[in-house]
Amino acid sequence: MIVRYLRTGILFSIIFLTACGDSDKKKAAGQQQTNGGGSQRPPVRAEAITVTTSTLFDNIEIPGSIVANENTEIRPEVSGLITGIYFKEGSHIGRGATLFKLNDADLQAQLRKLQVQAKIAKQNENRSSELLKIGGISRQDYETTQLQVSNTAADIAIIQTQIAKTVIRAPFNGKIGFRMVSVGAYVSPATIMTTLSQMTDLKIDFTVPEKYIPQVKIGQFINFTIEGTGKKYTGRVVATESNITENTRTLRVRAAVQGDAGGLVPGGFAKVTLNFEPDANAIVIPTQAIIPQARGKKVYLYNNGVAKFVDVETGIRDSATIQITKGLKTGDTVLLTGLLSLRPEGKVILSKLNNKLLTPPTRPKTDSSKTAANK
């Protein structure tokens, strides 16, 4: 019995001591938090710059394509058998030059038949005219012979038009492409026989992002280069598309190549440079000051030793700087370093402002003799 009482007493003692120890730890932790955490955490040393305005040159580079002034696929108007090809691939030809000839033997036979009928109809019309003068026939009979002459002439004109369609000619001056058919091939209006491109007065097509559309003007000059050469070319904007492409939110723009176009080939890739009017009052800060957020961007401002969180809107950006379009004003002090350690309304000590080192505050000197006496 005595042993049982001893065991119970020891157990209660252990529980009491454990509870006391936990209470002491909580008090110590609370005291430590009060002394070193929360609003009493030490200030963060950071570098900063003062917001000023500067001139911002807004230039963008976008891809483009060289376009022929005129370009077409050569197809026949009528079906038929090719009997002749009259051009050399890749050569320059003039407008109206004969490119292909289709078989027209059946049409020529019909034409000869109609020409004979026309001759006879004309003779009948002449005899009827003489008979009408002496009253041998009525005017209605004479007009019937006249109608026959007119109908035959119309049929001849139709056949001649069909014969003309068997000759495929160049619609404009240009450079002919490869022929895609051979002599003896049967072609129809759906057959592509060759291509023709006008190499003079070349154009360049490119697309502009939606945000830059208001700055694109008719008559504006552009610069561009092509692969494989360092030569710079110039163009002048002559037209824009009537609507924005929904998938890419871009506007298609066309410019006419100015000056020497040597070395340019339709379909070639070009790197277009657009130079817009500079902004003389732009606010630009280092990109390292921007803090991305789930919705938008923020920066830390220094205000009387305290860090302030501010929402900003950005514009043009490069590898080192970024334009601020909304949220900052001239004279604001933007923090650049220590951003991960900063908290809104947290204490800040500036170590460098506008790349100038700031002298840290000095501690007041103490009298060592008085300190020793107090001890």
The Cα–Cα gap between 89 and 10 comes to: 111
Q: Which two tokens stand for residue 200?
A: 């003079």
292, β-bridge pairs? 297
How high is the pLDDT of residue 22? 52
Of residues 361 and 342, which shows the higher confidence score? 342
The Cα–Cα gap between 372 and 163 comes to: 125
Which residues have CB under 8 Å from 340's CB, separation 6+? none
Average pLDDT over residues 208-224: 90
Name the residue with tokens 């056949």. 159
| pLDDT-derived band at 10, boundaries 50, 70, 90 | low
Task: Kindly state the percentage of the chain with pLDDT values over 70.
Answer: 85
Q: Give yes or no for residue 21 having a pLDDT over 70.
A: no
Q: Give yes or no for residue 39 having a pLDDT over 60.
A: no
Ordered by where they begin, the domains of the chain are 41-56+280-357 (2.40.420.20), 61-69+198-278 (2.40.30.170), 104-165 (1.10.287)
Reduced DSSP (H G I as helix, E B as strand, rest coil) percent helix, strand, coil of the chain, to 5: 30, 35, 35
Q: Which two tokens stand for residue 236?
A: 């002048």
Q: Reading across the β-sheet that carries 92-93, which strands appear in turn?
A: 70-74, 194-198, 174-176, 92-93
Single pTM value for the model: 0.61
For 259, which DSSP code?
S
Read off the amino acid at residue 107: L
- Look over the chain and give the mean of its residue pLDDT values, rounded to a whole number: 85
Q: Give yes or no for residue 135 having a pLDDT over 80.
A: yes
How high is the pLDDT of residue 340? 85
Q: Give yes or no for residue 59 having a pLDDT over 60.
A: yes
How high is the pLDDT of residue 40? 66
State pLDDT tens for residues 279-294. 788 899 999 999 998 8
Q: Which two tokens stand for residue 153?
A: 């002439």
